[in-house]
Chains A and B, each alone.
Chain A
Amino acid sequence: VKPFHYTVFLGLVVVGLGASVLLVPHQDELGMMFFKARQYPEARRILEERLVAGEHSIDVLAPLAEILVQSGDVERALALLRQLPVPPADRIELVKRIGQFARYGQLTGDYLQTVEEINRRNTSEDSLRELANLYRYLNLTEPLTATLREMIGHYQAEPTDFVELANLEAVAGRTPDAAHVLEELGRRHPEAMTGDTVEFLLSVLLDAGDTTRAEERAAWWLERHKLPAEAIRLAELMDSRGKPELGLRLLKPFDAAADRNPALLTELVHLQMTTGASEAAFARLQRLRRNRRLPDELAEPLLELALASHDLDSAISLAGEKGFERFPNWLLANLAEAAMAEERGDFVHRMAARLKEDFLAASRSSARGWHWLAAIVSEL
C-alpha cells in the first residue's frame, strides 16, 4: 500500500462523510417529509414554526393548508391557500383547490366566488352551467340572466337554457330580448319549438308590439301543425292580448271544419262577435240550428246573438227548446228584458214559473230584466 492509496482512501472517506452530511435532511425538508409520511402532528409543528419565522413559500403553505383542512380548520387553511404564490398558469388549479376547501367548509359564498373566478379565467359551458346552478339555487336573478346570456351567446346550450333566459328577460320587461332568445331557440333547436314555446314567443312579440311578426310566426306554426286545437289556442292568445282580428285570421283556414268541431266553432263565433262580425256568426248558427246540427255549447252564443239581432222569436224558441236552466242568469235577465220590451209578458211569466226561487237566490243582479223576473217570481 503506497501513500497514494492512503490519500485516495482518505479522500473517499472525506467525500463519503461530506455526502452523508448532505443527506441529513434540513429543517425545511423535515416538514415535507413528515407530511408525506402522514405524520401530521410532527409536520404541522415544523411547518407552523417555519410560517412564524416568516416563510411563506409553497413548501410551507400548501402542506400546512392540507393538514389544517384535514383537522377541520377550513377557514385558516383557506387563508393560507389564498397567500400561495403561484404563477398565473397554475392559478386555476389553486382556485379549484380553494373551491374544494370552501365546499369542505360548507362555505357557499366562498365557493361561489371561486366558481366565478374559474369561469373568468377559463370559461366553458360546464363552468357557466355550474355557475347558473348556483345562482338559481341562491335565487340571484340578474347574475343568472347574465350567465345564461353568455352560455347561449357562446355555446350550444340546452333548449331549457333558452326558455329560462327568455322567461327572465320577459319577467324583467325586456320582451324584445325575450322574443330574440326564443327566435334563436327556433333556429338552433327547432325540435324544441313546442306549442308552449310558440305561445310564449307570440306573447312576447305581441307585448313588444311586433304584431306582424307574431302573425307570421303563428301562421308558420299552424302551417306545420294543422290542428284545430293549436289554432284555437293561438287564436285565444291573440284575443287575450287584445288582437281578436288576428285570432280570426288564424282561424280562417279552419273555417270549413268549424261546423264539425264545437270547440273551434265556439272560438270562431266568439271572435266574430268580438270583431263586429256578429251577423255572419248568427247566420251560421241559425243555419246549423235549422239543420239540427247546432252543438249544445253554441246555444248560449246563439241566444246572445239572437237578442243582439232583435230576433226575439228565435231567442224565445231557442230558450224554450234548450231549457232555461242551461243558460246563465245574466242572459236570462236580458231575455226577460227583451220580452218585456216587446210586450211578451206571457213568456216572462212562463220563465219565472220555471225558474222560481232558485233563480232569485242564485242571481242577484241590478239588471232590469232580473227585477221583472224577481217581481213575478215573488208574486207566484
Chain B
Amino acid sequence: VRSLALLVALANSLASGAERDPRIVPRVILAVYDSQYQREVRDTRIHQLLEMPLNHLGLVVRYLDWKQGLPAPEEMRDVRGIVAWFQPGAMQRPAGFLSWATAAIDAGKRFVVIGDLSVASGPEGQPKQIALLNRFLAKLGLRVEDWVPVTYDVRIAYKDPKMMDFERQLPAVLPPFDRVRTIDNRVRVHLLARRSRDAGTDSALVVTGPHGGYAATGYTHFAGYRQDQLQWYINPFEFLRLGFATDDLPKPDTTTVAGRRIYYSHIDGDGWRNQTEVPRYRQERISAAEVILRDAIRPFPDLPVTVGPIAADLDPLWFGNRESMRVAREMLAIPWVEAGSHTYSHPLDWESLTLAPGENAAARSGLARWNEMWRRLCERLTEQWAKPYAEDGAPTLRRGHSRLRSYDLYPFDPAQEIGGSIDFINRILPPGKRVKLLQWSGTTLESETVLEATRRARVRNINGGDTRFDPEFDSYAWVAPLGRQVGRFRQVYSSDSNENTYTHLWNERYFGFRYLIQTVSRTESPIRIKPFNLYYHIFSGEKQPALDAVLHNLAFARAQELAPITASDYAAIVDGFFTAVLTQLGAHCWRVENRDGLNTLRFDRPGEHKVDWARSVGVTGERRYQGSLYISLDPAEPVAVVALARLSTPLSLCHPFLVQSRWQVSNLQLGKRSFSFEAGGFGRGDMEWQVCADQHFLVRISTEGSAPREIGLSSTKGVLRLSIDQTLSNPVHVSVREVGGRA
C-alpha cells in the first residue's frame, strides 16, 4: 500500500508542468582550511563559529585541507557551496587555489569568503597577486583595491539592520580592511564604509550575491583577549542563508520530534564510587551513584536518561566492588534508563593515547606488567574502596598517576575501551536490554579508528561540544555544531554542556549547573537551534548544591512542553541529519530517504505553504512555530515524500494530522472517517491532532498484555486532544474513529 502511495505521489508530482526531473538537493558545504595553521578540523573557525549556523540551515559541512589536494568538479556533485576562512596573508602560491575556486563558481557552486583569501600580502598589506585575486572576486561581483590600515576617519555609510549589530555593535575604532568595490549590481551590500564622506572611497565590507558572499576580516565577530569573549557583529544565520541560498532547502531538523522540542538526558559515570557529602545521606555513607539513583532518576519516570558507567568502576578486576555493581544493576534495570558506556578506563586524552603507542609498549613490557601486578596488589591491600576522586572534574587521580587515563591498571586498548566496556556492561543488564550509546570521556577527541569501533559495536556515540549560551558565554558562537567530522565518521556532540564548565572543572560554584536553564531557553527562542539536553556526571550526587542544580533542571524540564527521547535516539537523529538525501521531485516536493533516526523536516520561510497531504507520503503532521513549519515524518516509513501547497489551495481530502505529541507517533494509517497509529514515549502521552471538523470520536487504545481501553472524546475548534496513561507499557496502538457530529 505504501509503495502504491509513493508511486501515486511520484506520479502526481511529475504530472505538474512546472516540475523538473528528480535531482538530489546538494547540502554539502566544503570547508576549505589550511592544516599549516589549523591542525585539526576542530581548530578551524569554520567549525567553531560557522558550522552550527550552517547545520541549522540544513547544511552538512565537509572539511578539506587544501594542501591535500582540491577536488575536481565531478567530485563535487553533492556540494552546494564552499566556504573559506583562512589565516590572513599566508598563502604564498595561491594561483592553483584561486583557479580552482573560480572554476567552482563557474560550475555553479556558491562561494563564501570570510576575511581575505590568505593570498600573501606585501609590506603595504595589499595582496601581492592582486590581479589573480580579482579574477576570482569578479565572479562574486567584487574587486579588491587598496589596503586601508588607518580607519579613524572612516565611518559606516550603510548598515543593513537585518545583517549587522546582531549581538553587538561594531567598535568605535573600525578594524583595518581591504577596500573592496562591487562590480555587479546584483550584489547586495550589507555594510559599507566610507572615508571622510567621499563616496569614491566606499568599501563593501559585508556583501551577499548570486554566487555567494564576502565578509571582511574583523567585521564578523568580536574576539576579546579573554577566551570567553566572543560575540557576533553579523548575523551568521542571515549571512549564510543568503550566501548559500537556503530558503528553498528543506532543513532536516535535529531539535524537534512530533512537533515538540526534544528532551534527552545522559549521565557520564565519573565519580560512581565517590562517597556523597549530601547531608541527609552522610550517615548512610552511600555513593554519589546511589544518590543520583534515588533522587534524580527514580522520581522522574517521565524523563528518560542514559547512564554510561565506566566499566573499571564496576569490574572487580579493576576497581569495581559489590556495592558499585549493585547500584549499576539497579540503575540500569529501570525502564526509563538507557544503558550507555563511558569506556573502560576513562581515557582523558584520546589524542595522546592514540598517538603515543609508547604508553602501551611500556605497559606491556614484562617489567611493567610485573610492576603493575605488584602495584595492584599493594593498592588492594592498602586502600579501601573509599573515595577515588572525580576524574573529569578534579584530575587528582588516586591510582595510575597518569593523565592520559583515569585508570591505567592495564595497558590502553582501544578495542577494550569500546567493545570491551560495552560487553561488560551488557552482562549486567536485564534481559532484552543492550548498551546503545558510547559516551566519550576526557577530551572527547577520538580518532577515526576509535569511532569506527563504535560502528562495529553497533552503538551510537555522543559527547563533546560544550554548548553554553548564557551571560558568561554570551553568544551563539558558543553553541556547538551537531558534531565533528573525524575522517569517514562523525562524532556527535551533546547538545548542552555538562556541569564541568559551570563548576570550573568541579572546583567551585557547585550550584552553577542551574544556569543551564539560560542556555536551554536561549537555544529555544527566538529560533530553536538545540534540543534540551540535561547532561551531567554521577559526581553531581556528591555535593548538595550540585544535586540541587540537577533537580532544579529536572523540575524545569518537567514544566516544559517537550518530547523526551533517549540519548541514543538523539544520536540517531544527528546521524540521520548527515546521511539524509533529499531529492527534488517537483515544485515544492521532495523525497527524503537515508534519514536514519531523523523524523522532522523544517521550512524556515514557509510563507503561505502547508503540507499537501494528497501528494505527501509518510508524513504524520505539521506545526508552525516561531515562523517555521515543522513537518513530522513517519518513523515507520523509511522513504517519505513531502509536498507543500499554498494555504489557499483547496485540498481535495480532509486529512487528520498530528500537531504535537509528547510521544513519538508512527505507522499512521488513514481510514474512512478514522485513523490509527502507534505511539510510545515517556510520561503521559499528551498529543494534539488536527481533525476535519468538530466531532465525537471513539478512541481505542490497545497495548500488549492488557485489555484495550475505549474512551469517547470530542474535538474543539478542529483539535482533538488525547492523553495516554503513562502507566501503560508502550508502544500502544491507537485507533480513532469518528462517531458523529457534535450535539
The chain A residues found within 8 Å of chain B, CB to CB, are 38-41, 69-72, 104, 106, 108, 133, 136-137, 139, 141, 164, 167-168, 170-171, 178, 195-196, 199-200, 203-204, 207, 227, 229-230, 233
Contacts and interface: CB of A to CB of B under 8 A. Distances in A.
B124 A203 contact: no
Given A137-B229, A139-B171, A195-B124, 12 more contacts: A41-B279, A69-B509, A72-B548, A106-B515, A141-B172, A167-B151, A170-B152, A171-B173, A195-B123, A195-B149, A199-B150, A204-B152
A139 B168 contact: yes
Nearest to B201: A240
A63 B123 CA distance: 60
Contacts of A233: 124
B545 A71 contact: yes
Interface residues of B, number: 36
27 contacts: A40-B279, A70-B511, A70-B545, A71-B511, A72-B514, A72-B545, A108-B471, A133-B225, A133-B226, A133-B229, A136-B171, A137-B226, A139-B171, A171-B152, A171-B172, A171-B173, A195-B149, A196-B176, A200-B150, A200-B152, A203-B152, A203-B153, A204-B152, A207-B153, A227-B123, A230-B123, A233-B124
Contacts of B124: 195, 229, 233
A174 to B, nearest CB: 10
A168 B515 contact: no
Most chain A beta carbons < 10 A, residue from B122, B123, B472, B548: B123
A204 B225 CA distance: 27
Contacts of A108: 471
Nearest to A132: B225
Interface in B268-285: 277, 279
B511 A229 contact: no
Most chain B beta carbons < 10 A, residue from A106, A164, A178, A230: A106
A220 to B, nearest CB: 17
If over half of A's interface residues share one DSSP class (helix, strand or loop), that class is named, otherwise mixed; here it is helix
Nearest to B155: A171
Contacts of B122: 229
A139 B511 CA distance: 30
A268 to B, nearest CB: 17
A164 B173 contact: yes
A200 B149 contact: yes
Nearest to A196: B149
Nearest to B228: A137
B194 to A, nearest CB: 14
A133 to B, nearest CB: 5
B149 A40 contact: no
Nearest to A145: B172
A170 B172 CA distance: 10
Interface in B357-414: none
Given A38-B277, A40-B279, A104 B168 contact: no
Nearest to B171: A139
Nearest to B225: A133
B320 interface: no
B61 to A, nearest CB: 29
Contacts of A106: 470-472, 515
B544 interface: yes
Nearest to A225: B123
Contacts of A171: 152, 172-173
A196 B172 contact: no
Contacts of A229: 122-124
B125 interface: yes
